[in-house]
Amino acid sequence: MTFSARQGIATARRVVVKVGSSSISGENAEKIGPIVDALAEAHGRGTEVVLVSSGAIATGMPFLQLDERPSDLATQQAAAAVGQNVLIYRYQAALREYGIVAGQVLLTAGDLENPTHRSNARRAMERLLGLRILPIVNENDTVATHEIRFGDNDRLAALVAQLVGADALVLLSDIECLYTRPPGEPGATPIKRVAYGDDLHGFEFGSVVVNSVGTGGAATKVSAARLAAASGIGVLVTSADLVGQALTGADIGTWFQPNPEPAAPAATGPVRTARR
């Protein structure tokens, strides 16, 4: 199903929600509760929800007595190994009162490029959703070396939305919507809607930001949103604090209108011919 407006999120059959490290780690760890409340409400309406959650490294840092994101790969992997366990525990603890069970799914970009791995991942996700389990997806940071150094989970979320044939993708950020230039600069105005095919080259979204807990930024969200929209998936970019409103189709955030005539069903994704 293709929704041309954000209001369709409220009745979507399947939605992917992505949350970043800064929204759920450190002093913001308590925000996991409100995010889960919103996901559980959508789940209760019958929507199949997939959560793509960053935060493994950031969550693991305090347990390794680290004050900032480590720069060496081995320590990043160690922090991710510890943090992923704690992160899933926190999500499951919040989901317990709703009687919802979480299912952990760890992926790499290579998994989604390899036809066999991609097929296996899709089958597992479909089965989890069919069993009314809430899949929580993250980059497999202990082995995805390139992604740890330079990547973000916005693109992963777009690829997962394609993988499962989602109706909509919600990318949660630190600000309510995207702006024509960094919001602190003079002349920055909010962007409410991006029609499919709109030229955005005149806007200044900035480069990928690497902070004390993770990576990301407006530019990565725009790139991921356009990737998903090209497959016929509507995308909403908004604040993590507004996730409840986002999932009820409120008039908030920046809406990327999906391609009305995608070349292939969103669930199909890239097709590669296996060697015989």
The predicted pLDDT at position 65 comes to 95
Q: How many residues does the chain have?
A: 276
- At 63 the three-state DSSP class reads helix
The predicted pLDDT at position 8 comes to 94
Q: Under 8 Å CB-to-CB from 97, ≥6 apart: which residues?
A: none
Q: Is residue 265 part of a domain?
A: no
Q: Is residue 115 part of a domain?
A: yes
Residue 140, both tokens: 């497999």
pLDDT of 191 higher than 70: yes
The predicted pLDDT at position 183 comes to 79
Distance of CA 110 to the CA centre of its chain: 18
Q: What is the mean pLDDT of the chain?
A: 86
Nearest in space to 154 (alpha carbons), one of 170, 176, 178, 132:
170
Q: Is residue 109 part of a domain?
A: yes
What's the CATH number where 154 sits? 3.40.1160.10
Q: Average pLDDT for residues 139-167, to the nearest whole number?
A: 79
Confidence at 49, pLDDT banded by 50, 70, 90: very high
Residue range of the domain that includes 19: 6-256
List binding-site positions for substrate: 54, 141, 153
Distance of CA 107 to the CA centre of its chain: 13
% of the chain beyond a pLDDT of 90: 63
Confidence at 198, pLDDT banded by 50, 70, 90: confident
Q: Is residue 267 part of a domain?
A: no
Residue 263, both tokens: 């070349």
pLDDT of 203 higher than 80: no
Q: Average pLDDT for residues 147-159, to the nearest whole number?
A: 71
Q: Average pLDDT for residues 178-203, to the nearest whole number?
A: 83
List binding-site positions: 18, 54, 141, 153, 173-174
DSSP 175: S
pLDDT of 215 higher than 80: no
Q: Is residue 100 part of a domain?
A: yes
The predicted pLDDT at position 113 comes to 84
The predicted pLDDT at position 93 comes to 97
pLDDT of 114 higher than 90: no
Place of tokens 């909403």: 236
Q: What pLDDT digit, counting tens, does each position of 226-270 carry?
A: 999 999 999 999 999 999 999 999 999 999 999 998 875 444 444
The predicted pLDDT at position 4 comes to 75
The predicted pLDDT at position 110 comes to 80
pLDDT of 213 higher than 80: no
Q: Is residue 261 part of a domain?
A: no
Q: Is residue 269 part of a domain?
A: no
pLDDT of 88 higher than 90: yes
DSSP 275: P
Cα–Cα distance measured from residue 257 to residue 200, given in angstroms and rounded to the nearest whole number: 14
Q: How far apart are the first and last CA of the chain?
A: 35
What ranges make up the beta strands (E) of the chain?
A: 14-19, 48-53, 102-107, 134-139, 168-173, 178-179, 190-191, 193-194, 209-210, 215-216, 234-239, 254-256
Number of structural domains in the chain: 1
Q: Is residue 274 part of a domain?
A: no
DSSP 132: T
List binding-site positions for ATP: 18, 173-174
Q: What pLDDT digit, counting tens, does each position of 21-38 carry?
A: 989 988 899 999 999 999
- At 192 the three-state DSSP class reads coil
The predicted pLDDT at position 210 comes to 37
The predicted pLDDT at position 209 comes to 41
Nearest in space to 105 (alpha carbons), one of 120, 125, 80:
125
Phi-psi region of 185 (alpha: psi -120 to 50; beta: other; left: phi over 0): beta
The predicted pLDDT at position 267 comes to 42
